[in-house]
A and B are shown apart, each in its own frame.
Chain A
Amino acid sequence: MKKNLIMDKNYLSYWLRQIRKTMSLIAPMRLKNADIVFKQVDNIHEIELDCPASLPSPKEFLLPQKEYMFRFSKNSVDVLKDCTKRLIFGVRSCDISAIDLMDRFFGEKFVDEYYMSRRENTVFISIVCNNPDPTCFCIGLGTGPFLKSNFDIQLTDLGDRYLVETGSKQGADLIRGYSHLFSRPKKSDYDDQYEVILSSQSKFEKRISLENTRQKILNEKINDLFWDWIARRCFECGGCVYACPVCTCFNVVDRMEQEGDGYRFRIWDACMFKGFTRMAGNVWPAEKKGSRIKQRYFHKLLYYPDHFGRFGCVGCGRCTITCPGHVDMATIAHRIDVGDRRRR
């Protein structure tokens, strides 16, 4: 399955144009003078690859912010499932790692058929980050800037050409029939790849060890005062959760259109909200903001490693950009690891 090829950059748009005939093409695009978002591509030349990471993560296409599950009427119920074939192009390594985690979460025990239906119809072309953002810290987690496995197709920008690595059957299917666009890699190509990766690795500004952070928490070096202190700077906006490619919590809501007819849909929810665990009779298990923040970070730093053997954070840095109170994963992990005067 694993196969490496070289493609001249000039062929890229032709290749994408051909693939787009069979599936919907999604890629990072710049909104008018504003943020980068993943959206359906109308003009292939508008795809933005040399840009900071998109703020909304591509999880939107697997777990949409709002997903219709059922349409019901007085005497029938329709299961609504998205089976659109999609190619998501230009995804970063960290996001692919996050999707790998989501695959495992939604695919274990009770398999989530809505996620799976989208996932089985989606294929990714990821790109090695030659220029990580100042907020990125995937390098300390092994989730970037390049991937060794678990990708469909991974491109490495070597200047005038791409090194194209296929890592899955879905990836191989995208190459099939286009052999005229590709050539065999030479030793010099691998040398260039090595250079590119080394140079990228050297550009990371943030070096954060979540493992040290985890150990500090496990050794009970952090008490609840720390979380309460963090909480004082949190606005409970939920931005960190919505922006995070790993967070998956959702709420389920019924909405009536008219008498007896309506939809049941799920929408993103956030453990940072006070009402998230509210129960009837005015019971608020996580009333304190500090306890909710602690729960979120314990989930990512302790429970994810216990359950999946990996952190529930891929170092994408989105929460750093989003958080208006500057209490994001990188900051909190750094405080815990390197120290803080409130630490015992």
Chain B
Amino acid sequence: MKEIYLPIKAEVVEVLDMTPDTKLFKVKPERPVHYQPGQFFMLSLWGKGEVPISITSACGFHEYVELCIRRVGYITSAIHEVKPPCDIGLRGPFGNTFLAENAKNKDIIFVAGGLGIAPLRPLITRVMNEKKRSRRIALLYGSRNPGEILFKDDIEAWQEKGLQLFLGVRKGLQFILSAGKKDNCLLSGSGPAAESSRIPKISFKNAYAFVCGPPVMISPTMITLSTMGMDENNIYTSLEAHMKCGVGKCGHCYVDGVHLCTDGPIFSYAEIRKRRLQIV
């Protein structure tokens, strides 16, 4: 029988300080792991406990994985104390994935708030690598202050491949909305010149959106995007819940008839509304 609670060993090979409370951990699991964008690991420290952490490195089959962790409590503080070389435990990957296949050849808008960029990073990287000239892809990215912009190198690389970057989520959404009121067509260049540079040039009707960030950001973003005419089935987000097992057994993440750890954590806006899932 497969041991679902037994973590495999993983060696921490590098730790990078990203902001005062966020570190990037590069770890080498005992055996290479295969994962998809949006999935998470249960990271385990013997003697402390386990926490769910999204995989932030490029997806696929890899020897190394990267985890971006913010210090917020008991276990994450303990993880921040880890100095390489050192072993930690990993279980997973768990959870469903961002279905990027459906969004093939469609415009995409990514909305990330703070650490929300971490689970989106593998997806953005994949999309930008597969991107053809005609496709328009935008990233709205906000953080508490400009010093906390994460993954600057990646963002530059994506911009070189044609990503439209907009810093500041709330401002970005406001621009989208105010521009939307002026003229219903938000396609390239149709707004007043001064504003058009701040509006993602994508066609909202056919676009896909992937939204990740703190709950206070998720609902207004989803509402704005659907107001702009985006199909609710095409707006995805990753929900968060207290998790203990990651495999649908402990019951901690069970809300409204779904286990966020196995049925989620990724849901479309349509599903969230249908099931009346709570965005905490």
Contacts and interface: CB of A to CB of B under 8 A. Distances in A.
Given A79-B6, A110-B262, A251 B48 contact: no
Contact of A112 (B4, B240, B242): B4
Describe B's contact surface by its main secondary structure: loop
Interface in B225-256: 240-242, 244-245, 247-252, 254-256
A285 B255 contact: yes
Interface in A62-84: 69-70, 72, 77, 79
B47 A299 contact: no
10 contacts: A79-B6, A109-B262, A110-B262, A277-B252, A279-B240, A279-B280, A285-B255, A302-B257, A303-B257, A306-B257
B247 A110 contact: yes
A61 to B, nearest CB: 18
B72 A283 contact: no
Given A69-B5, A279-B280, A262 B47 contact: yes
B250 A252 contact: yes
Describe A's contact surface by its main secondary structure: mixed
Contact of A249 (B47, B241, B251): B251
Contacts of B240: 279
Interface of A: 69-70, 72, 77, 79, 105-106, 109-114, 116, 248-254, 256, 260, 262, 264, 266, 269, 271, 276-281, 283, 285, 295, 298-299, 302-303, 306-307
Given A279-B242, A302-B257, A70 B6 contact: yes
Contacts of B247: 109-110, 112
Nearest to A278: B242
Given A113-B2, A262-B46, A280 B72 contact: yes
Given A110-B247, A253-B49, A269 B252 contact: yes
Interface in B61-76: 72-73, 76
Nearest to A262: B47
Given A79-B6, A277-B252, A285-B280, A252 B50 contact: yes
